[in-house]
Amino acid sequence: MKFSKSTEFSIKLTVLIFLMAFLIFDFFVQLYSPKHNLTGVPYYQRLNINYAFFTTQSNYLVVAYLFCVVFLKQSYNKKPPFGIELAITVYITVTMLVFWFGLLASRDEMSAYNAINWISTVMLHAIIPCLMIVQFILSSGDYYHGMRTHARFGMIGISMYPLFYLIYSVIRGEFRFQEYGPSFFSKVYSYNSVTNTFIADWNKVTGGGFGVYVGPNMQPFTSQMWYPYWFFNLHKYDLVAFDEFGNPHIWASSQFSMGLMIFFFISACIIITTLVISLQFFYIAINNNKFYRWHDINENLLTKAEHDYRMALQRQNRYQKIQEWKNVIKLQRTETQVFKQNLEGLSTEEKAQLILERKNKKILQRKLKVAEIRNARNKKRQTRREIRSMLTNVKTADRVFIKENIREAERYKKLVKKGVLISKLEPD
């Protein structure tokens, strides 16, 4: 379904205005109706904590990017570079996946949300990420981007922001742990044994002006006061408040061994790094597949007739493969039925003999298939050896050129196998 330029602009502008309005709404939510574990800290600390999250930063990047898309399209009929679009799509996808499959499993996260927080969470971790992914899918496919070229140049650049974020979060967390650690917690918070609630009096340590926070829904801060995510924390701690009789009341505690905390930290870094890198190639593959839906191997744009012919050819090939698969299943069932019929009326010894022969035949067929696969692998290895041997006799300056040509030949071979046209159709 295609829209006119003005209709497309109106849709994108409406979505952009909605998202900007939501970010303003979310800003006030963080101030006046934050998560339960932020109700016991002053307003400036709520914003400090909120904007330290990768979630918040990546969502603001998405809105800023969509603003650039609308502005550049309307003013210059252009769009931002593919690398920027790819980077922001990767960041917001990591935000979505890490939250729904990792952070949401945290007891501290699950118990921290009220109704309005859930609205913000669904927007930040589901709707906005999906909008960005849809935007990428719709706008990609204009150019082919080689995987190897991206691995050399683009991958490191896109991975730098998560790396800098990690360094920033750890350093920031260390400073904040020293400033707002367990001893600070005990100074700010007290416990009322009559109402069984905590009381936060920030005026004790700030010199006034930041208020006293009380009430049944008020909760003291947790490790998010220091680190945006729990797996960044490498400190043991007990957050203790004292009642009017001097009795301690533990609000939160972490007594994991240093080895276990390091394991969590390294595991999280490995998982997120794997996501950042693998998602880059995943989205590049989407871009390239879309590119070759409308281009030939020589990267010439196809006409609609050529595109329709290619799609029809691919559908026909898929249909033939499905039919071949069904025929194989039918043949196997027929052979089994015939074999069972042949067993009828035979003696026990004759049945056993036929079953053994059939079993040996199947074993032989499997061995032949395995041998065929091994021969194919050996041929590939032999080809690689021959190429290496050839390259040793070539000048160093020519090796890169030859290797690149060999890779391109392999790529073309795969494209032809997928049904990509070698050249455009000749007109009638």
pLDDT of 306 > 90? The answer is no
**Residue of 248, 230, 232, 231 whose CA lies nearest to 240:** 248
Helix axes 82-101, 258-291, angle to 10 degrees: 130
8 A C-beta contact, residue 101 and residue 75 = no
Q: Compute how many other C-beta atoms are within 10 angstroms of the C-beta atom of residue 6.
A: 9
What confidence category does residue 108 fall into, taking pLDDT thresholds of 50, 70 and 90?
low
What was the pLDDT predicted at 407? Answer: 78
Q: What is the pTM of this model?
A: 0.84
**Mean pLDDT over all residues of the chain?**
88
Q: What is the pLDDT of residue 210?
A: 62
φ and ψ at 238, to 5 degrees?
A: -130, 120
Edge-to-edge order in the sheet of strand 237-243: 212-213, 197-201, 189-192, 237-243, 248-254
Say how far apart CA 184 and CA 53 lie, in whole Å.
23
Q: Give 133: exposed, middle or buried? Use CB within 10 Å, 0-12, 13-18, 19+.
A: middle
pLDDT at 428: 45
Which pLDDT score, from 0 to 100, does residue 424 have? 52
Q: Report the candidate in 88, 63, 68 with the shortest Cα–Cα distance to residue 80.
A: 68
pLDDT for 6: 78
The β-bridge partners of 201 are: 212
- % of the chain with per-residue pLDDT over 90: 53
**What does the radius of gyration of the chain's CA atoms come to, in whole angstroms?**
31
In sequence order, the 6+-apart residues with CB closer than 8 A to the CB of 7 are none
- Write out pLDDT tens, residues 336-347: 888 888 888 888
Report pLDDT for 51.
Answer: 96
Across 27-36, 279-288, 350-359, the highest mean pLDDT is recorded for 279-288
104 has pLDDT over 70 = no
Residue 90 in this model has a pLDDT that exceeds 50: yes
Q: Is the pLDDT of residue 215 over 60?
A: yes
* Res 76 pLDDT > 60: yes
The pLDDT-based confidence of 109 (bands split at 50, 70, 90) is low
Are 145 and 292 within 8 A, CB to CB?
Answer: no
Counting other chains too, the contacts that 364-373 makes at CB distance below 8 Å and 24 or more residues apart are none
pLDDT classification of 112: cutoffs 50, 70, 90: confident
DSSP 272-336: HHHHHHHHHHHHHHHHHHHHTTSB-TT-PBPPHHHHHHHHHHHHHHHHHHHHHHHHHHHHHHHHH
The share of the chain scoring above pLDDT 70, in percent, equals 93
How far apart (Å, rounded) are the C-alpha atoms in residues 390 and 14?
60
pLDDT band for position 386 (cuts 50, 70, 90): confident
Q: What is the mean pLDDT of residues 392-417?
A: 77
11-15, 164-168, 367-371, 411-415, range with greatest mean pLDDT: 164-168
At residue 355, does pLDDT exceed 60? yes
Which residues pair with residue 189 across a beta bridge?
A: 200
* Vertex 262 angle, CA 261 and 268, to 5°: 90
**Residue 234, pLDDT above cutoff 90:** yes
Strand-pair partners of 192: 197
Task: Check if the beta carbon of residue 146 is closer than 8 Å to that of residue 281.
Answer: no
For residue 53, give both structure tokens.
């999250």
Question: Given this model, what pLDDT does residue 422 score?
Answer: 56
- Dist. CA 143–CA 82, nearest whole Å: 9
